[in-house]
Amino acid sequence: MPTITTGTVERQAAQAGRKPGRRTDEVIAASLLSEGIYELVIRDPYVARTAQPAQFVNLYPADATMALPRPFGVAKVEGDDVTLIYQIVGAGTAEFSLLQAGDVIDVLGPLGKPFDTTKPANYVLVGGGLGVPPLLYAAQKLSKCNDGTQVTSVFGYRDARFAEDLVAPFADKTYSIVNAEGNVIDLLNDIEDELRNVGQPPVILSCGPTPMMKAVAAWASKRNIPAQLSLEARMGCGYGACVACVVDTPGGRLKVCKDGPVFTTEELGWEA
C-alpha cells in the first residue's frame, strides 16, 4: 500500500495557520463516464471541507517531463472524497486516465475565486462540454440552501448527455441539448418564460467554451439577467505567480487563476 500523507500535511498546515501546500492524495475510484470522459475520486479532506463552486484543483502528472500541473473544477464532494470529471485532451489527461483505486496523485487546491451564490435566486447553470463539472458542484451546494433558492441546469453536450444523472438529484429543473439539436442559446430562448416564472429572479452561472460564454453573456445582458462566467485559460502555476493565464479586460490584464476563474459580464466587457 502507498503511504498517504494528506492528513499529516493538512494537520501541519492548520497548526501553522496556513493552507496546505501540494500534497499526495489517494485515488478512491476511477471510471469511464462516457467516451473519452473520466470520473476521478480522490480523498482530500481539506478540499472537501473548503472548496466552493468553480474553484479548481491542480493535479500534477507523475511523468516528470510534464512540469506543469493540470487544473480541474471540483464536480462533487461526498464526505472526504472529491470527484473530478475530465476529458482526455493531451498527455496529462491521458496519464490521469490510467489511474486506479489505490494509486496516489499530487494535488494542490482548492484554488481560484468561486461563484458568488450568497443571494437567493433561481440559479441557471449554463454549461457546455467539459464546462459542466464545476456546475454540478454548484448544483450540489445550492440544493442545500433553504432560502427559496432554485436550481435550473441548462447543459449543452457535443453528443452524449454524460452529466444528466449527476445533476438531476440537485436541480429543480434540468434541460439539455446536443449539437445536432442546437446550442444552449436556442435552449435558453425556448425556456426563457419558464426561467422567469419560478419565484426567484434568474442569475446565470456559466462555464464552457469561450464563444459559448460570450453568447450567454450577451443573451443575459440583453435581458438584464446577471451572469457570472467561469473562464478556462492555459495555466502554469495556478495561483498567480507565473502570468501564464492573463486575460485582457476593460479594467486591465487579470489573472484567470487568481482574479478568477469567475468574472462578471461587466468585468469582462462582454455585455451585448
Ligand X SMILES: Cc1cc2nc3c(=O)[nH]c(=O)nc-3n(C[C@H](O)[C@H](O)[C@H](O)COP(=O)(O)OP(=O)(O)OC[C@H]3O[C@@H](n4cnc5c(N)ncnc54)[C@H](O)[C@@H]3O)c2cc1C
Which residues in this chain contact ligand X in the complex, by CB under 6 A?
A: 56, 68, 70-73, 85-87, 89-93, 130, 133, 232-235, 261
Contact status, residue 132 vs residue 155, Cβ threshold 8 Å: yes
Alpha carbon separation from 98 to 22, 36, 84 (Å, rounded)? 21, 12, 14
What span, in angstroms and rounded, lies between the C-alpha atoms of 71 and 85? 11
Least Cβ distance, residue 17 to ligand X (angstroms): 27
Beta pairing partners, 76: 83
* CB closer to ligand FES, 53 vs 69: 69
What span, in angstroms and rounded, lies between the C-alpha atoms of 247 and 129? 21
State CA 166 to chain mean position distance. 14
Alpha carbon separation from 176 to 125, 129, 168 (Å, rounded)? 11, 11, 11
Of 198-257, binders to ligand FES (CB under 6 A) are: 235-238, 240-245, 255, 257
Least Cβ distance, residue 261 to ligand X (angstroms): 4
* CB closer to ligand FES, 19 vs 173: 19
* CB closer to ligand X, 144 vs 234: 234
* CB closer to ligand FES, 45 vs 236: 236
| Kind and range of the H or E run holding 126 | strand 122-128
The entry of ligand FES, ligand X, none near residue 243 (CB within 5 to 8 angstroms by kind) is ligand FES
The entry of ligand FES, ligand X, none near residue 237 (CB within 5 to 8 angstroms by kind) is ligand FES
Residue matched to cell numbers 451572469: 227
The entry of ligand FES, ligand X, none near residue 68 (CB within 5 to 8 angstroms by kind) is ligand X
What span, in angstroms and rounded, lies between the C-alpha atoms of 60 and 70? 6
Alpha carbon separation from 102 to 26, 203, 223 (Å, rounded)? 6, 40, 49
The entry of ligand X, ligand FES, none near residue 93 (CB within 5 to 8 angstroms by kind) is ligand X
* CB closer to ligand X, 156 vs 202: 156
The entry of ligand X, ligand FES, none near residue 76 (CB within 5 to 8 angstroms by kind) is none
22 binds ligand FES (CB under 6 A): no
Beta pairing partners, 175: 154
Which parts of this chain interact with ligand FES (CB under 6 A)? Answer: 235-238, 240-245, 255, 257
